[in-house]
Copies of this chain bind each other. A is one copy, B any other.
Amino acid sequence: MSENGGFASRSGIADIEETPKFAPKFSAEGLIPAIVADTGSGKVLMFAWMNAEALEATFATGEAHFFSRSRRRLWKKGESSGEVLKVERVLTDCDQDVILLRVTPQGRGAACHTGRRSCFYREVRRENGAWRLETVGAERLFDPTDVYDENDEPA
C-alpha cells in the first residue's frame, strides 16, 4: 500500500496532469469532492464526498457510493430511497482532486433527497443588493415523507 490509500503517490504537477497514473488527492479527512452529472442530459444532479472506500465500492458495484460526513460512514446512494445511481463513467480533473461521475439515475430518477431530479433546483439572484433564491425546475418525482423514516437520514 502506498501512502495515498492504495493509489499512486502524487509527485510533480506535470506528472499529475498528463499521467495515466491515478493519484487522487484526498483531503486531510481522506475525502475527495464528487460531482454527479446525468449521462443523458449532461445536467449536474448532486454533489457529495468520496473516500477511498467509496471509490472502490463504486467501481466494484457500478453504483455510486459516497462517504456521509454526518453519519461518518460509507453510503450507497439510494440505499433507503431506491434512487440508485448507475455509474457509466468516472472522470477526474487536471490536478486529480475532484471526481466526476456520469450516471443514469434508477428508481424514479430523483437524485435529490427532496424528491427532485437534481439538487440544484434554486437559482441565486441578487437584486438591489439583496440576495434571494428562486425555485426553478423543482417538480418532485416523489414525496420525501413517503420515502424516509423520520429517524432515518435521507440517502
CA–CA, A94 to B47, complex, Å?
10
CA–CA, A133 to B93, complex, Å?
11
Contact present for A133 and B22 (CB under 8 Å): yes
CB contact between A123 and one of B21, B43, B90, B114 (< 8 Å): that residue: B90
A90: chain B residues at CB < 8 Å are 123-124
For the complex formed, measure the closest distance between the CB of A6 and the CB atoms of chain B, giving whole angstroms: 8
Contact present for B133 and A19 (CB under 8 Å): yes
CA–CA, A135 to B20, complex, Å?
8
Size of the chain A interface, CB-CB below 8 angstroms: 45
Question: Does A147 have its Cβ within 8 Å of any Cβ on chain B?
Answer: no
CB contact between A91 and one of B22, B114, B122 (< 8 Å): that residue: B122
CA–CA, A97 to B12, complex, Å?
31
Query: Hey, what's the 0/1 contact readout for A84-101 against B, CB within 8 Å counting as 1?
Result: 000001111111001110
